[in-house]
Structure 1
Amino acid sequence: MLSAEVSLYPQKTIRASEIINDAIQSLAQQGVSYNVGPLSTEIHGTEEQVWTGIRSLFDRASSAGEVSMVVTLSNAASED
C-alpha cells in the first residue's frame, strides 16, 4: 500500500478552486480511495493506483494552465 498527501496550487488564475475541484473529480474516475481536506487531498491504494491518481490530478489541473503540486508519499502502514 502507498499513501500520498497532495496539494495543488493553480498559478495565475482567479479560478483556483474550480480547477482544484475539477482535478479531484478525476480521482473518482480512477477508482482510487481519497479524502479531501481543506488544504490537501489524501490518496490511498496500491502503488499503481496512487501514482495513477497523482498523474491524473496533475494532468487535469495543468490542462487549465500553470500549476504547482506538492506531494508527500508514505509506504508506512496505516494505524486505522
Structure 2
Amino acid sequence: MITAEVALYPQKTTNASQIINSALDSLQQHNVQAQVGSMSTRLQGTDEEVWAGLKSLFDQAKAQSEVNMVVTISNCAG
C-alpha cells in the first residue's frame, strides 16, 4: 500500500478549477481511495492503483492545458 499527496496546477488558463475537477473525475475509473482537500488530494491504494491514478490525473489535465503536478509518495503506514 502506498500513499500519494498530489496537487495539480493548470497553467495559462482561466478554467483551472474545471480542469482540476475533470482530472479528479478520472479517478473513478481506478480502484484508488481519494481524499480531496482544498489544495491537494491524497490517493491511497496498491502501487499499481496509485500510479495509474496519478497518470490518469496528469493525462486528463494535460489534455486541457499546460499543467504542473507536484507529488509526494510514501510507503509509510499512518
Provide TM-score, normalisation by structure 2: 0.97
Contact 2:31 2:45 in 1 (8 A): no
Alpha-carbon offset, residue 61 of structure 1: 0.3
Q: What SS does the aligned partner of 2:43 have?
A: strand
Provide TM-score, normalisation by structure 1: 0.95
> Gaps (5+ residues) in structure 1?
none
Matched, 1:34 2:34: yes
Structure 1 residue identity aligned to 2:40: S
Paired position in structure 2 for 1:65: 65
- Aligned-residue Cα RMSD (Å) equals 0.5
Runs of 4+ in 1 over 4 A off after TM superposition: none
Paired position in structure 1 for 2:50: 50
Paired position in structure 2 for 1:23: 23
> Gaps (5+ residues) in structure 2?
none
